[in-house]
Amino acid sequence: MKLDFRSNRDFWSGLMFFVIGVAAIPIARDYPFGSTLRMGAGYFPTLLGAILILFGIYIMVKGLRRHEKIEGNWSLRALIMLPLSMVLFGVLMQYAGFIPALAVLIFWSAASGREFKFFEVLLVTVLLTVLSVGVFIWGLGLPYPLIKGF
């Protein structure tokens, strides 16, 4: 039996549930616990934390016995870049305005794919930005400044 748990998906799932449960209980203990008759704010989350710990252990053990591997391909690039494009959109909406936020979102998210053709992406960025301004700002009337400072 090889201890190859790095690609063992049940082990990692179980560990995740376990860690969340372990983290939730001390936080929930800060809230008034109350009694079964009159539950405080901490009762329900403590209970859930305990349930998560139990499930976590059970799933981890099952994983170590069954060795089911993680399937499918991982694109680390997509996993980091795509969520980041949303974060950038949020930041830019606040400081730069609708058009720059959109342009960066589209360009950045397109760049997180495997196939990246510069001119095609540029064209898509321009088209989608124009379309979005038309639909969301003029059509649906969302009250966002197109470019801040103008």
Residues that bind other proteins (CB under 8 A): 9-10, 12-13, 16-17, 20, 24, 27-28, 31-32, 35-41, 44-45, 48-49, 51-52, 55-56, 58-59, 62, 68, 70-75, 77-79, 82-87, 89-91, 93-94, 102, 105-106, 109-110, 112-115, 124-125, 128, 132, 136, 140, 142
Query: CB under 8 Å to 45, separation ≥6 — which residues?
Result: 24, 27, 28, 31
- In this complex, which beta carbon is closest to other proteins, that of residue 64 or of residue 124? 124
Least Cβ distance, residue 1 to other proteins (angstroms):
21
Query: CB under 8 Å to 132, separation ≥6 — which residues?
Result: 98, 102
- In this complex, which beta carbon is closest to other proteins, that of residue 1 or of residue 84? 84
Least Cβ distance, residue 82 to other proteins (angstroms):
5
Query: CB under 8 Å to 121, separation ≥6 — which residues?
Result: 106, 107, 110, 111
Q: Interior CA angle at 118 toward 77 and 106, to 5°? A: 60
Least Cβ distance, residue 100 to other proteins (angstroms):
13
- In this complex, which beta carbon is closest to other proteins, that of residue 2 or of residue 38? 38
Least Cβ distance, residue 107 to other proteins (angstroms):
8
DSSP states of 13-78? HHHHHHHHHHHHHHHHHTS--B-SSSB-TTHHHHHHHHHHHHHHHHHHHHHHHH-PBPPS---HHH
- In this complex, which beta carbon is closest to other proteins, that of residue 21 or of residue 149? 21
